[in-house]
Amino acid sequence: MTPEEMATCHARAFAGQGRAWSEQEFADLLESPHVFAIGDGCAFALGRAVADEAELLTIATDPAHRRKGLGRETLSAFEAGAVARGVTRAFLEVSDGNTGAIALYRAAGYAETGRRKGYYQTPDGREDALLMEKALG
């Protein structure tokens, strides 16, 4: 998957929810040997694995392909890719206003471990970031 495809999918997935990531931002992240991508133009996950931890940097599903289980499949593929890199724990942060993503993460076994007040800028103000993690392996 190219940075251009990622930026296009990300822009569609997060339309109206704040600033989507640019092609250059994806390209810069993918230059790191610790960053890996899973998926295609319909749905993808971008993660960073360092030592025994993986961070889910972003996950996106094109709205035209939602409600088909792609988010769940992509999250599972991210976890498998992390485990293949020696990871035993995954973590992420998500806007507390993103109820669909929170439901996905909880259903996959992620638990809330913290909160960052006012972390995300949104078109309507600011939202907290929920910190979540899961043991893998």
Instruction: Confirm whether 93 is a catalytic residue.
Output: yes
Instruction: Confirm whether 119 is a catalytic residue.
Output: no
- The answer to whether 47 and 77 are in contact (CB under 8 A) is no
For residue 102 the two structure tokens come to 């929170």
Taking the C-alpha atoms of 76, 136, 33 and 114 in order, what is their torsion angle to the nearest 10 degrees? 100
- Among the listed residues 55, 79, 105, 133, the single catalytic one is 105
- Among the listed residues 79, 93, 127, 133, the single catalytic one is 93
C-alpha–C-alpha distance, residues 10 and 45, integer Å = 10
Hey, which residues are catalytic here?
Answer: 93, 105
